[in-house]
Structure 1
Amino acid sequence: MSKTRKVCYSLLALFIIALPAQAQDILTVATDDGQKTYSFEQLTELPQTTVKTKNDYIDARSTFSGPSLKMVLEQNGIGPDAELKMQALNDFSVTVPAADAFNYDVILAVLKDGEKMPIRDKGPIWVIYPMDDHAELSDDLYNGRLVWQLKSITTQ
């Protein structure tokens, strides 16, 4: 290979490395009016809510942070009377009343104890209810709504 070609390949490689990384969408919210997608960065740019709680899927009380589900629903024109299909990356889904987001500080957690959650540890988004703040949430009904690896919210 000629010296000129090597220099060109080296410059091309440097150019590709220097390109900004494209933000990957991790959440889709779909309604009858259309859909909106969110990247991790977009979710973290929204006002954040912190919930300190434990649940049946973790060993100890943890601190979760992320945007409130209520805010994301409102951004998409979804009110408290809607029914939501929440679907995970593994295609698990559950129907949840949107009223939960309006009655409790439900969050779309993107951080656990200050760290980004990898897919293998229930990330990148875990629907978290403030279980410790409301005795009625310590029920199997609400534990079933703690969708981890959330990928989409669709109105029913």
Structure 2
Amino acid sequence: MMRIQEIWSAALGVFLLALPSFVFAQDILTVKTPKQSTDFTLEELQALPQAVVVTANDYVEPPAAFQGPLLRALLEISEIDRDAELKMIALNDFASTVPAADAFDYDVILAVLRDGETMPVREKGPIWVIYPMDDNPELRGEIYNDRLVWQLREIVVE
């Protein structure tokens, strides 16, 4: 009987040690086109070339350093052209329609880090769509504020 308890204890220990790996490798973003659906983990997003945008917006003051892949890079991977409309959907089902042209005209990023730290859900993470507002004054306005989707979970080509 003692042997079975030892085996179960060892198995539980291995499972608990491996658990962070399973949690860390979860899909956090889905990109859907008429042809395909692609899921990305945090690690996969961080493996893409990274850009840093230092900016303030209506939700962040003073400016913060946001880091993540360019939205344009994900659109290119998914073969989405600049004429597409993107429905950006948050974890709470908030949605905003964004012209793909924004990603080709500006360095819009899918921020996964803020000031070098990952962003938990309660702090607008794990992904926040960030426009380079400080570098492009024409982006300061209600229309672009509505495109700053935080807690992004899905991009659907419409």
Give the one of 4, 27, 37 matched to 1:35: 37
Gap runs ≥5 in structure 1: none
Aligned counterpart, 1:60: 62
Question: How large is the Cα RMSD of the aligned pairs?
Answer: 1.0
Aligned counterpart, 2:100: 98
Give the one of 123, 132, 137 matched to 1:121: 123
Moved more, 2-11 or 103-112: 2-11
Gap runs ≥5 in structure 2: none
Aligned counterpart, 2:78: 76
Give the one of 128, 131, 134 matched to 1:132: 134
Moved more, 16-25 or 85-94: 16-25
Aligned mates of 2:90, 2:16 — CA distance in 1? 32
Aligned mates of 2:88, 2:2 — CA distance in 1? 56
Aligned mates of 1:93, 1:18 — CA distance in 2? 37
Q: TM-score, normalised by structure 2?
A: 0.95
| Post-superposition CA distance 1:15-51 (Å, at most 9, x none) | 2134362210000000010110000110001110000
Aligned mates of 2:43, 2:12 — CA distance in 1? 26
Aligned mates of 1:76, 1:24 — CA distance in 2? 20
Aligned mates of 1:97, 1:141 — CA distance in 2? 11
* SS at structure 2 position matched to 1:130: coil
Task: Report sequence identity in percent.
Answer: 53
Aligned mates of 2:55, 2:141 — CA distance in 1? 14
Q: TM-score, normalised by structure 1?
A: 0.96
Aligned mates of 1:17, 1:151 — CA distance in 2? 27
Aligned counterpart, 1:4: 3
Aligned counterpart, 1:15: 14
